[in-house]
Structure formats: C-alpha cells, structure tokens
Structure 1
C-alpha cells in the first residue's frame, strides 16, 4: 500500500509523530522501541518533502531525530499539555486521598465512590483555578 502526502500534510505528520513519541515512548514501556522505529521511518522522508530543517540525522547510529526547530515549534503545545496534566493529576491524587479518609467509604457502592471522587476532584479544580498554588504550604 502507498500513502501520498502533501508537504503540508507531512509537516503535520512530523508534529504528530514528535508529540506522540514524546508522550508515549518511554524506555520502560514495551511499545517504546516500536514508537522510535516508526518515528525514525517517518523522519527519514523529510528531505523528499523539503522538510530537512525539522529533522537531524546521526550517521553513526543511522537514525533520524527531530531538530531543535521542530522542538521549538511545539514548545507551547507541550507546555500546555504538561500544565493540564499537572493540574489533573494533582486534583486526582488529592481527591483519592480525601476519599480514602472519609469514614463511611466502606458503605459506598463502586458507583457512589466514583461519583464522590469526581465531586471532590471538581472542588479541587475550582479551588486551584481560583487560587493556584498560592495558599498551599507544607504543614509544620
């Protein structure tokens, strides 16, 4: 099978591959090697699309890498993603902690636990939207 891309579509594909590899390919994950192989394959076509400014090649390892220019182009997307994940994770962890501290948790059905967890998470999201981390401090 053959797939044809315009230059613009290939540029979008480069960004998608970069972001997906950045998010999904970690050394401890089984899929990491497959992700890196696919990234290398897609990046290898950069010259054919006139996109070599977005790709660096290491001849010693015979591998292609996203260039600093592609990294800079996606810097804001990554920063926004990291911030969103930070707040979601923080609220989820705090909500889980608070739910486990509730005295009557053993009486909750799984559905009630989930609903209560979401309720607590929502309260943390509202709190952090209003105050950020300004009022947070370690207990002494």
Structure 2
C-alpha cells in the first residue's frame, strides 16, 4: 500500500507518531519498550529529509535508524506536559473519590450507590484542586510501633 501525504500532512503524522511513541514508551525501560511503535516512528523519521524536515531528526549509525532529535522533542514537550498535567489531576481526583466512596462503605452497596457517591466526591475534589492545587493535601505517615 502507498499513502500520499502533503508536506503538512507528513509533519502532522510525524508529530502524532512522536507523541504516540513517547506516550507508549516514555515510562518503559529500553528493553521493555513496545518496539512496534518505535519501529513505526523510525520508519517515518527516515523520510523526514524528503519532506523538508531533516532538521527534526538525527541518524543513529549504531542503530542504523533515524530518530527525533533533541530540538524536535523539546518542541513536542509542551504538548506532553499539558497531557501529563491533565492526566495527573484526573487520576488524582478519580482515585481520591474512589477511595472516599469505598471508605464510606458505598462499594458494598449497589453499583449505583457507589457511582453516585464517587461522582459527588469527584466534584468536590475537582473544586478543591482547582482552587487550591495540592496545598491542602497531606500524606499520613505510619506511626512507629
């Protein structure tokens, strides 16, 4: 199969592949990475010069492959940071609300009661974190026995 891309489409696809590979492998050890995404990114990077984006990639002779260079990754960084920030707050709200609903005993009633309690707690945590960030969050340290 052949896919024809304009210069602009190629750049958007390269951006999406860079961001996708970063999301898939950014938290993994090198030996645990999902190579299918790494391979796809390298394949697209190999065509960067032909589309006029050679300045976004570097060639690794040892790996015999093209990769996004540091400058290009820094260009993508604000998108990754925005995503990470949004996920952090969503996960914090979700996990705190689930913990609160379970501690209140709603996990042992009906699914509907649990979902209602969790949703109410989520709204409260969203409001709290929107107004105060982490200012009021405390971690209880275990007492030494």
| Alignment map for 1:1-140 (pairs within 5 Å) | 1-25=1-25, 27=28, 32-107=34-109, 109-139=110-140
Q: In structure 2, the residue corresponding to 1:4 is in which secondary structure?
A: coil
**After TM superposition, what 4+ stretches of structure 1 lie above 3 angstroms from structure 2?**
none
Q: Could you report, residue by residue, the CA deviation over 1:61-119 in whole angstroms, capped at 9, with x for unpaired residues?
A: 11221111211211211111111011011111111111110135422x22332232222
Question: Can you give the 5+ residue segments of structure 2 that lack an aligned partner in the other structure?
Answer: none
Are residues 52 and 90 of structure 1, via their aligned partners in 2, closer, same or farther at CA, if it must alter by over 3 Å?
A: same
Give the superposition deviation at 1:139.
Answer: 3.9
Instruction: Give the Å deviation of 1:31.
Output: 7.9
CA contact (8 A) 1:15 1:70 kept: no
* Matched residues, number: 138
